[in-house]
């Protein structure tokens, strides 16, 4: 729940409230945010979380473009980086699950 609320704040804060940062920082934040959403969704056992997040990535960019008071613009590259972050979150959750199970032995 906290990760979802964080995403709403980050993605829908008006441009005037977004701090200045070096170029490319927004892409890193997008990737990490969606990795967090995927990771926490997988651990919360939310069914179909990955496709839902892909839809959310696209819809959030469209909404940034359409919601005039935000003064933000939608960016296809941001949506692609979001999907990359979803993959990162999935890979991290999968890796951690495999480590918790312990090594497999063959006899």
DSSP classification of residue 107:
-
Three-state SS at 97: helix
Phi/psi of residue 40, nearest 5 degrees? -70, -35
With contact defined as beta carbons under 8 Å apart, do 103 and 55 qualify?
A: no
- Residue 73 to residues 20, 68, 77, Cα–Cα distance (Å): 16, 9, 12
User: Per-residue pLDDT tens for 8-29?
Assistant: 999 999 988 888 899 999 999 9
CA 1 to chain centre: 13
Q: Which pTM was predicted?
A: 0.89
User: Per-residue pLDDT tens for 52-62?
Assistant: 999 999 999 99
């Amino acid at each position: 729940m906290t990760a979802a609320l964080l995403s709403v704040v980050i993605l829908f804060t008006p441009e005037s409230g977004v701090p200045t940062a070096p170029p490319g920082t927004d892409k890193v934040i997008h990737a990490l945010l969606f990795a967090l959403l995927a990771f926490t969704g997988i651990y919360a056992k939310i069914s179909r979380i990955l496709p839902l997040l892909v839809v959310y990535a696209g819809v959030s960019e469209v909404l940034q473009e359409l919601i005039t008071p935000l003064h933000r613009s939608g960016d296809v590259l941001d949506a692609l980086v979001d999907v990359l972050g979803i993959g990162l979150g999935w890979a991290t959750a999968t890796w951690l699950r495999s480590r918790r199970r312990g090594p497999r032995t063959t006899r």
